[in-house]
Amino acid sequence: MHPPAYTPAMTQPPPTARHAAFARLKALADRPDGRRITPLFAADPGRAARFTAQLDDLSLDLSKTAIDEAALDALFALAEAADLDGFRRRLFAGDAINQTERRAVMHMALRAPADAGLRAMTAHGAEDAAAFAAAERDRMRRLVDSVHAGDARGATGQRFTDVLAIGIGGSDLGPRVATEALTIGRRDQTLNAHFLSNVDGNAFLEATRGLDPARTLVVVASKTFTTQETSMNAAAARAWIVTALGETAVAAHFAAASTNRTAVAAFGIEPSRVFAFQDWVGGRYSLWSPVGLVIPLAVGWKKFQSMLDGAWAMDCHFRDAPLRQNLPVLLGLAGIWHTNALGCASHCILAYDERLRRLPAHLQQVEMESNGKHVMLSGEPVGWDTCPALFGEPGTNAQHSFMQLVHQGSRVVPVDFILAADPGPDRPEAHRPEAHRALAANAFAQAEALMRGRPEAEIRAEMAARGASLADIDAIAPHRVAAGERPSTTILFRALDPFSLGRLIALYEHKVAVQGCLWGIDSFDQWGVELGKQLAGGILPELTPAAERQGLSAGPRREHDSSTTALIDRFLSLRGET
């Protein structure tokens, strides 16, 4: 991929001031009590309120971190050194913020009203991104409505009951987390959604298990429409439809979302069923675009629109709120504190909500593909750590797997707790209120336990009170000690509905942009994943018998290291194909 040559010269504040700001953060963490949290509460009864920011019903509590006023000032000094304010302006002005791909970053236009006036720089000059997105959204809506109304039907005249969404990475994770969040525990979905991402015959079998091709609409989502996994899965789905219903059924059963109309046309999808978006939408930010078509198909247009509205509310807040009251900025700064002042190398996302069970997977891509970078925009190596490794599971499940390490492991892992106060006001009968209270109790208890820990004296006293011998106390007490002072942030809102879901995901998207700006990196490219793709393309012909190699670019056989060569030979020998 060669970026077009239309971008302005790269501009970035010189790193000197940033170096000083990072050094200041480290120095603050190295103060005698610089990493402790409990003394901050002891010293300031108003700490919780002072370190909680709010947008309507959504609150972000940063008080259970070691960030004090001095640390906050140092973090904002870093933001100033990195010109966060200017970055935010350039982002919303549609400048080519994604400098290495010479692209604007304008996924906000996908959720903005048509007349929001959001423009994006393109190879052909600035375009009205919000108007473009709205026009495509209207086309999507027409298809969704006609499927739901039974006007658009399968080739045999039957109504669609299922949608199979094919895509990978950003063309899968975002749509999947949103669809799951809005359908888990409900019985009112308009179509049953199924997802196929991995290039694995088992995944295909699993995704199509029990599906009737005559009643299945297939949506292929791929920004580039060249991704190997998606191409192979789309071809398999096409064969599945054609075998059952004949070649002519493809027009009725397929729709696509892509920026590459030519490749989609070559695949043979009816042009009226192809929905476009522009290169100013990054893959991991594309669930709001036609890539997310499966979402309204599954939950209805009204909910999809409400999700967009929630994200747009967060966009406006991020764009307009002063930095010190700005939720994505504060969440981003907390992460900077943990990564660059405390040296934490990982970060845990715990949503106490089964419906958000795929959120960590989506955020892994949003955060790690965006900010897993080692050079600044100038190409110079960064002089500080960038994105931590993210992981997570729904609470309370996580408590019974990896939380042991978070409480007592040798490294500090900051946690984001995410919780809705109300399990779902639109249908209280579906929720056992006592179960939701138990979820909440666990979320609050975990955060408190991480911070308070358990001192040895308390454990010894408790064991003694229960009649344990001194030898037992000596042997066991050290193992039960939890040092505490482990940081967490808590995101709490009224209810997980489409609006709050959109707002939540957009909060993290902008957090990532904030951090990328402070680290001085390009958060919107992903060159690192290219090499593996190229090498896989080269190895595939080597694993394929000559008779089946048609269509695979044979190319000259590459020299591998001896390990890779031996593994390829062994793979073929185990299959009896040498």
Ligand X SMILES: O=P(O)(O)OC[C@H]1O[C@](O)(CO)[C@@H](O)[C@@H]1O
User: Rule CB under 6 A: which residues touch ligand X?
Assistant: 168-171, 222-224, 227, 230, 283-284, 369, 526, 529
Instruction: Quote the least distance from Cβ 338 to ligand X, whole Å.
Output: 25
- Angle at CA 309, nearest 5°, toward 221 and 318? 100
**Six-digit token pair at 42?**
């002891």
- Decide whether 223 or 486 has the Cβ nearer to ligand X: 223
Instruction: Quote the least distance from Cβ 283 to ligand X, whole Å.
Output: 3
Active site residue 533: yes
- Closest by CA to 474, choosing from 459, 485, 452, is 459
Instruction: Quote the least distance from Cβ 302 to ligand X, whole Å.
Output: 27
C-beta separation of 297 from 257 below 8 A: no
- Decide whether 534 or 562 has the Cβ nearer to ligand X: 534
- Decide whether 222 or 278 has the Cβ nearer to ligand X: 222
- Decide whether 198 or 224 has the Cβ nearer to ligand X: 224
Instruction: Quote the least distance from Cβ 578 to ligand X, whole Å.
Output: 31
Q: Characterise 321 by phi-psi region: left (phi > 0), alpha (psi -120 to 50), beta (else).
A: beta
Q: Annotated catalytic residue: which of 19, 374, 533, 577?
A: 533
From CA 145, how far away is CA 143, in angstroms rounded? 5
Q: Specify the 3-state DSSP secondary structure of 486.
A: coil
Residues in the chain: 578
Instruction: Quote the least distance from Cβ 204 to ligand X, whole Å.
Output: 17
- Decide whether 176 or 284 has the Cβ nearer to ligand X: 284
Instruction: Quote the least distance from Cβ 525 to ligand X, whole Å.
Output: 9
Instruction: Report helix angle 301-320 to 498-519, nearest 10.
Output: 40
Active site residue 26: no
- Decide whether 306 or 526 has the Cβ nearer to ligand X: 526
Active site residue 338: no
From CA 525, how far away is CA 371, in angstroms rounded? 9
Q: Annotated catalytic residue: which of 127, 367, 369, 393?
A: 369
From CA 190, how far away is CA 212, in angstroms rounded? 16
Q: Annotated catalytic residue: which of 400, 434, 479, 559?
A: 400
In 474-527, at which residue ranges do the beta strands (DSSP E only) sit? 488-495
- Closest by CA to 144, choosing from 292, 323, 269, 322, is 292
- Closest by CA to 79, choosing from 523, 522, 524, 516, is 516
Q: Specify the 3-state DSSP secondary structure of 157.
A: coil
Handedness of CA 512, 517, 523, 528 (dihedral sign): negative
- Closest by CA to 111, choosing from 320, 360, 407, 312, is 312
Catalytic residues: 369, 400, 533
